[in-house]
Amino acid sequence: MSEHSEPSLSDQPNLIWIFGDQHRAQALSCHGDPNVHTPNIDRLAHEGIDFANAVSGTPLCTPFRGSLLTGQYPHKATPGHEIPLPSDVPTIAEPFKAAGYRTSYFGKWHLDGHKERNGRGAFHEIPPERRGGFDDWVGYENNNSPWDSWVHGTGIDGFEHLDGFESDVLTDRFIEYLKDRGREKKENKGKPFFASLSVQPPHDPYVAPAEWMGRHNPAQLQLRRNVPPIPSVEDKARCDLAGYYGAIENLDWNLGRIRQCLSEQDLDRETVIIFFSDHGDMHGSHGLFKKTNPMEESMRIPFIIGGEVPYYGRKGRSISSVPHLINHVDIAPTSLGLCGITPPSEMMGTDYSSCFNPNRPAPAEGFPDSAFAQLVVPTCHGESPDRSWRCIVTTDGWKYAVTENGPWLLYDLKEDPNELRNLAFASNWRKNRSDLHERLANWIKKTDDPFNMPAEA
């Protein structure tokens, strides 16, 4: 690491988002997964704040990404898969630019409404006016082929092939961007930057470079307790997880490369890093695969704020974990808050920046005691729910989900973290169900969600 003088952080630190796709919160060594080794992500958590209860308020790529960039719930932004981000909804890039930041986006976008049956998403060109207002934009709509990735955008004539594994080559490009920012700093020409790196792995097809794939023997993997002992389910889960863990460890390595570059460019003490994911992956839990349901493996995501910035000597301590249920709509206002920027009034989420920087004001009304989640438009993929649902998760460990036909799921996560006992129709928990039903109805009313809340039944 580079040598530095006494810590001091500008009122306008740089901010970096780093996120993969379909990376569930449980798949980190700092969260207790015995199958995976993530030293760089663990280090980020040790030095910063780990939101160990972070939620993907819509466990599906496109609607999550719409909420990520706008701070609005899916029914206000991008309600479903292959639905474009409305051009009249402002993104996080705009308040950053108004505050003097350079804004840059690299990688997977999946917000332009391309339908895969109309050709490959990697070759769907997103025009400049549809790139969220970012100053620099190099990316692709969708791909699902990490060894054959193509990008277009700023400074590229047509489409450019990434020669190598997607996470590695996009990180190479991101590192060159950081070197440019470092040169500007040395020449006293730079301004603060907000930059995002979005990679598709560990999303299926669950592959990684040989160095990482070879680390995991499917037969030796330890499955979660809620994976049923059905041979076809276990076999698929083990096969998929071997590549999944390899891709996560590869992403962890690339995070380490980015941090090394920040240090070499003397940017590390003024750059906040947020590491997260858009949603999780079931991998056989409850006999299910992929996403879009409100189970823990699908909707819990990593969310860590850290870096070498001087808040406040956390290095070497045990991980500082907070109980707050930070949600997808909270990421934009929290990111702005970390940089001293007041979030626009149209953002519906909460600013959690005071959890990381105690010099930032906490919300006057306090932090929410629950998080609201939705599947607005079902995808009807083979392992996905075929109907719309709404869900509430509480800070005291309850989860309740409904469809328009009535109650669906009720779990006491304190006693049953693996969700093995659905209490939704058990008379002894009728009062809990009634209380949660009312709280969920309040979220639907508060967010102006057109969902038809069922009678409690």
Q: The whole model's pTM is what?
A: 0.95
Same domain? For 313 and 406 the reply is no
Residue 5 lies in a domain: no
The strand pair at 370-375 and 102-108 is best described as unpaired
Q: How much of the chain, in percent, has pLDDT values that exceed 70? A: 95
Structure tokens at 8: 């001091």
Residue 377 lies in a domain: no
β-strand partners of 372: 392
Domain count, the chain: 2
CB 325 within 8 A of CB 397: no
In this predicted structure, the answer to whether residue 279 has a pLDDT above a threshold of 70 is: yes
Structure tokens at 90: 């402002």
Q: With CA atoms as reference, report the closest residue to 415 among 403, 406, 423.
A: 423
Residue 16 CA to residue 307 CA, distance in Å, equals 10
- Give the domain-ending residue among 355, 377, 400: 355
Q: Mean of the per-residue pLDDT values for the chain?
A: 94
Same domain? For 196 and 87 the reply is yes
Amino acid identity of 80? G
Q: Give 245-254 pLDDT, tens digit per residue.
A: 999 999 999 9
Same domain? For 36 and 119 the reply is yes
Same domain? For 281 and 165 the reply is yes
CATH number for the domain including 146?
3.40.720.10
Residue 26 lies in a domain: yes
Structure tokens at 313: 């000597």
Specify the pLDDT at position 321: 79
Residue 114 CA to residue 116 CA, distance in Å, equals 6
Q: Looking up tokens 């005691």, which residue turns up? A: 369
Same domain? For 161 and 111 the reply is yes
Same domain? For 24 and 168 the reply is yes
In this predicted structure, the answer to whether residue 1 has a pLDDT above a threshold of 50 is: no
Average pLDDT over residues 326-351: 96
In this predicted structure, the answer to whether residue 351 has a pLDDT above a threshold of 90 is: yes
Helix (H) or strand (E) holding 237: helix 231-264
Average pLDDT over residues 186-206: 96
In this predicted structure, the answer to whether residue 337 has a pLDDT above a threshold of 60 is: yes
pLDDT band at 116 (very low <50, low <70, confident <90, very high): confident
Q: Give 352-377 pLDDT, tens digit per residue.
A: 999 988 888 999 899 999 999 999 99
Burial (CB count <10 Å: 0-12, 13-18, 19+), residue 82: buried
Same domain? For 339 and 391 the reply is no
pLDDT band at 384 (very low <50, low <70, confident <90, very high): confident
- Collect all residues with Cβ–Cβ distance below 8 Å to 198 and sequence separation of at least 6: 17, 19, 21, 105, 106, 107, 108, 109, 139
β-strand partners of 272: 15
Same domain? For 194 and 342 the reply is yes
Higher pLDDT: 325 or 383? It is 325
Other residues' Cβ atoms within 10 Å of the Cβ of residue 158:
8
Residue 379 lies in a domain: no
**79: preceding bond cis by omega (within 30 degrees):** no
User: DSSP secondary structure string, 318-341?
Assistant: PP-EE-----HHHHHHHHHHHTT-
Same domain? For 183 and 262 the reply is yes
Q: Give 413-454 pLDDT, tens digit per residue.
A: 999 999 999 999 999 999 999 999 999 999 999 999 999 999
Average pLDDT over residues 122-148: 97
Same domain? For 254 and 122 the reply is yes
Q: Domain containing 87: what range?
A: 14-355
Same domain? For 351 and 423 the reply is no
- Collect all residues with Cβ–Cβ distance below 8 Å to 157 and sequence separation of at least 6: none
